[in-house]
Amino acid sequence: MKKRWNQRTNMTMLTDFYELTMSQGYFDSGLKDTQACYDLYFRQVPEGGGFAIMAGVEQMMDYLENLSFSDDDIDYLRSTAHFSEKFLTYLRNLKFECDVWAIPEGTPLFPNEPIVKVRGPIIQAQMIETMLLLTINHQSLIATKASRIVRAGQGRAIMEFGARRAQGTDASVLGARAAYIGGAHGTSCTICGEQFGIPLSGTMAHSFVQAFPTEYEAFVAYAKSWPDEAVFLVDTYNVLNSGIPNTIRVSREILEPQGKRVKGIRIDSGDLTWLTKESRALLDAAGMEDCRIVISNALDEYLISDLINQGAIFDSCGVGERLITSRSEPVFGGVYKLSGIEVGGRMEPRMKVSENLAKITTPGSKEVWRFFDNETGMAIADLITLDDEIIDTSEPYELFDPIHTWKRKTVTNFTARKLLQPVFVKGRCVYPRYNVQDIRRYCAEQQETLWDSVKRFNNPQTYYVDLSLKLWEIRDALLHRYGVPNSQ
C-alpha cells in the first residue's frame, strides 16, 4: 500500500520548544490529565479577500495518527537538560487521546470562527499546536490563492506550475494538492500526481528548442514523440516570425498527414495581450482554430484579470511562483488559542483579553453553523454557538453583530448546517479519507453558495460571522470580569 505523503517520518518533534516547556509545567503542577479546549482560527482573509478555503485536514490526520515519541526523541530531549525523568517517561508512554473536530477541506472559511477544535488532556492538546498551525495555515493559504486565480480565469484552465519555486519539498507537493482543491485543473509536479491522483501537465522548456539546430527541427522531434499531445513553446526566438510559422509548418507536414492536430502553443514572455491576439489570427487563418493558446510568465489573479480586460485570447494558464508561494501575501495567519479548561469536573470558558480588539478570543467549547436561504440556496451568515446549543430552523432567528450589536437581522425559511465535523474521538480517527477530486468538486460547489459580492477581489462585501446570544453574554461577562468596561 502506498504511503501517504507526510507519513514518511514521525513528525511529533516538529513542535516549538515552548510547547514542551509548558507541558512540563502542566505536568509538574498536576495538570497532565486536566481537560482543555483549544480553537484554531484566523483573523483576516489574505489579500483583503472575502473568504478563504479550508485545506490540510488529511495531513493533520496523518500527523495525529502517528503522534508518539521515539527513544531517540527522548534521548535528545534529555540531552537538552531541560526536562525531568518523570516527564520524559510520560512523553515516552504518551498515547494520543484528544477529540478533534475540523471544518471539511474545500469549505469556504471566514475570520474568527474555529476551523479546528481540540479537546483533551492539556499537555497533548498544547503540544500539537505548531504542526496543526503549519499544516492548516500553509494549505489553506495556497488553496485560497488558487481559488482567486481560478476565478480570475473566468473558466479558463489554470495549471499549477510552481514546484521549482516552492519553499521546500513539502511546500511543493502539498501546495500543489492545495491548489488543486482550490480549483486548479492540474499540476506539473509529477510526484503530486503519483501521490494524490492529480492530473499532470507539461510540454517543453526553451532548452528543448535550443538543443536542436533549428526551432522547426525541435518541433518536429516533439511532434513525433507526442503526436496526440503536441504543445509547442513558441517564444524561444520570435513568436510571430518563427514560433507560429513553425507550428503551422509542423502541423501541415508532420501531424495532419497522420490525421493528427497540434494541440496548442505556449507563450511565456512578451506582451501577452498582443501576442495572443496575433497568434490566434495566424492560427485561425491556417485552419487551426482548434489549436489552444496557453500563457505563462509570473501570472496571478491580477495580471490574468488585466489580460482578459485587455482582450487577450487564451485558453489556459500555467501559474507558478505567485501561486505556490502565495507571493503577494505569503502568510495565512492562523492562531491556536485556549478557550476552556476543566475545573471541578466542568469545562470553564477562558479567554484572552487585549487592547487590540482583533486579539480578543471567544471563550468556550463551540460549534460553527452556516445558515442557508432555502429559496436561493445561498449562504446567509455563519453563527458561532456553544457546543450544546441547538438551532431551531422552524422559528425565526435573530442574528446580531457581536461588536456593533445594534446591527441585527432576523432570518426565516433557512437551513442551519454544522460545519465542525468529528475527526478524532478519544484519539481514534473517525473521519473518512476523501479523494482530492471529490474535495475539489465540493470546494467548487460550496463557493457557488457565496454571493458574487463576497467573491470580489477588491472591497468584498463582509460576510457576517456572529455569536449566539448565550455565547455573547459569556464573552461580555468575562470582558467585564477582566476589567474591560464594555465589549466595544
Q: Are 122 and 35 in contact (CB under 8 A)?
A: yes
Question: Residues 311-366: pLDDT tens digits?
Answer: 999 999 999 999 999 999 999 999 999 999 999 889 999 999 988 888 899 999 99
Question: Residues 15-72: pLDDT tens digits?
Answer: 999 999 999 999 999 999 999 999 999 999 999 999 999 999 999 999 999 999 999 9
CATH class, range 203-297: alpha beta
Cβ neighbours of 409 (radius 10 Å): 13
CA dist 384 and 418 (Å) reads 10
Task: Indicate if the pLDDT at residue 1 is higher than 50.
Answer: no
pLDDT of residue 11: 92
CA dist 412 and 398 (Å) reads 9
pLDDT of residue 212: 98
Task: Indicate if the pLDDT at residue 481 is higher than 50.
Answer: yes
CA dist 458 and 151 (Å) reads 13
What is 5-142+330-481's CATH topology?
nicotinate phosphoribosyltransferase (3.20.140)
CA dist 421 and 444 (Å) reads 19
- Strand (E) positions, 137-253? 157-160, 186-187, 231-233
Which uninterrupted H or E stretch holds 319?
Answer: strand 316-319
Q: Are 111 and 48 in contact (CB under 8 A)?
A: no
Distance, CA of 234 to chain centre:
34
The domain segmentation of the chain, as residue ranges, is 5-142+330-481, 203-297
Task: Indicate if the pLDDT at residue 196 is higher than 80.
Answer: yes
pLDDT of residue 487: 47
Looking up cell 470562527 gives 113
Question: Residues 282-308: pLDDT tens digits?
Answer: 999 999 999 999 999 999 999 999 999
pLDDT of residue 482: 82
Which distant-in-sequence residues (6+ apart) come within 8 Å of 385 by Cβ?
366, 367, 369, 391, 467, 468, 470, 471
Distance, CA of 123 to chain centre:
28
Closest CA to 255 of 282, 223, 286: 223
CA dist 280 and 24 (Å) reads 67
Strand partners, 369: 383, 418
CA dihedral of 476, 480, 485, 488, whole degrees rounded to 10: -20
Mean pLDDT taken over the chain: 95
pLDDT of residue 64: 96
Question: Residues 251-291: pLDDT tens digits?
Answer: 999 999 999 999 999 999 999 999 999 999 999 999 999 99
Q: Are 146 and 158 in contact (CB under 8 A)?
A: yes
Q: Degrees (nearest 5) of the Cα angle 74, 80, 85?
A: 50
Question: Residues 119-129: pLDDT tens digits?
Answer: 999 999 999 99
Cβ neighbours of 197 (radius 10 Å): 11
